[in-house]
Amino acid sequence: MSEDRRLDVLRAIVEDYVRTREPVGSRVLTERHQLGVSPATVRNDMAALEEAGYIAQPHTSAGRIPTDKGYRLFVDRLAEVKPLSQPQKRAIETFLSEAVDLDDVMTRAGRLIAQLTGQVAVVQYPSLRRSGLRHLELVPTGENRLLVVVITDTGRVEQRFLDVTPGLDDGLLGELRARLNAAAAGKRLADVGAAFERVTVALPPEVRPLAAAVAELVTETLGEEGEERIVLAGQANLARAGMRFEQGLSPVLEALEEQVVLLGLLTEMVADQSVAVRIGHENRLEGLTEASVVSSGYGTDGDTLAILGSIGPTRMDYPGTIAAVRAVARYLSRVLPT
């Protein structure tokens, strides 16, 4: 059997099954696709694909459906990813560029992926650990309380309170703020501490304790491990009639609720800003063994700041989902605050 022809038959089975949600028979394949061979040859090819584990027969006398292994070969051999139309591209760019702040950007990105794919979208906020410091604000809120506002270069805002000695001089506080901003603006976590330390040692002795306390609070905030936040959108899509899961929806919904574990899966998948695909049992998250995950990193200047993706049944439109995830990741990288 020709290897190329076998791939053509598998591709036709995947495309038909994704579109019709019904097992595919040899007669249907020869009628719908220009395979250039007889139905008997197609049946032989299907038998070989089944023996190799790429397709399976769910019921006696039924057609064939792809297995996880078959979907994997299909995805690995994709000749091209279905491009988005120009109106779709313009709509994505316009919709994201109209966001008013980072929260709005993340929400809009999730809604876009869910609408484009008809599946569940997962969008991670830019990680504080990978963000740079854009601005630091120090705001007295009482006799002995100071509000420390950390604004990152991705537009993320974190607020922390610091206990201080009463009677802070506004002029002194303003000078401290200016010096810390000048020293650390734009620097990542690895470099912020050293920059703050240089500022601290150059200050008068009576100001150093306050400067050291602010510096410690900021570096702790940027270095937090548990601050990762994600947006989920499109969960209602799972309830649509076409989203059939043999084990039901409950395992998938429970997996989506395990956000820390889910984020770990996405992070493990994506090493850079390319698109990665995990199919069925390739997902080590138990509730997603009947699902596929398509994900990509996004960021600025080639630096991956966070991850986004789409989750749906293994019977998904892989070319379309890959194109949607890739497009939103690229546009999100472009509209992030700089």
Q: Could you report the per-residue pLDDT of 278-323, keeping only the tens digit for each?
A: 999 998 888 898 899 999 999 876 678 889 999 999 999 999 999 9
Question: Dihedrals φ, ψ of 154, to 5°?
Answer: -100, 5
> Is domain 86-127+228-335 annotated with CATH 3.60.15.10?
no
- pLDDT the model gives residue 295: 94
CA distance 184 to 181: 5
The residue that leads in pLDDT, 21 or 224, is 21
Parse the chain into domains and list their residue ranges: 3-76, 86-127+228-335, 129-222
Which letter does DSSP use for residue 153 in this model?
T
Q: Could you report the per-residue pLDDT of 130-160, keeping only the tens digit for each?
A: 677 888 899 888 778 889 998 887 777 888 9
- The pTM for the full model equals 0.76
**Count of CB atoms situated within 10 Å of the CB of 258:** 15
Average pLDDT, the chain: 85
Instruction: Confirm if 185 and 135 have CB atoms less than 8 A apart.
Output: yes
Both tokens of residue 172? 């002194």
Both tokens of residue 335? 């509209």
Q: Could you report the per-residue pLDDT of 266-286, keeping only the tens digit for each?
A: 888 886 658 999 999 998 888
CA distance 295 to 274: 8
**Three-point CA angle 206, 143, 202, nearest 5°:** 20
- pLDDT the model gives residue 103: 87
Collect all residues with Cβ–Cβ distance below 8 Å to 319 and sequence separation of at least 6.
78, 80, 81, 82
- pLDDT the model gives residue 106: 92
- pLDDT the model gives residue 243: 66
CA distance 297 to 306: 6
Sign of CA dihedral 241, 258, 111, 17: negative
CA distance 186 to 232: 30
**Count of CB atoms situated within 10 Å of the CB of 279:** 24
What is the CATH number assigned to the segment(s) 129-222?
3.30.390.60
The residue that leads in pLDDT, 141 or 109, is 109
- pLDDT the model gives residue 1: 47
Over residues 91-98, mean pLDDT? 88
Q: Could you report the per-residue pLDDT of 1-51, keeping only the tens digit for each?
A: 478 888 889 999 999 999 888 899 888 888 888 777 888 888 899 899 999
User: Are 86-127+228-335 and 129-222 equal in CATH topology?
Assistant: no
Question: Dihedrals φ, ψ of 306, to 5°?
Answer: -165, -175
Output the CA–CA distances (angstroms, integers) from residue 192 to 37, 313, 338, in the order listed: 66, 44, 18
What is the CATH number assigned to the segment(s) 3-76?
1.10.10.10
- pLDDT the model gives residue 130: 66
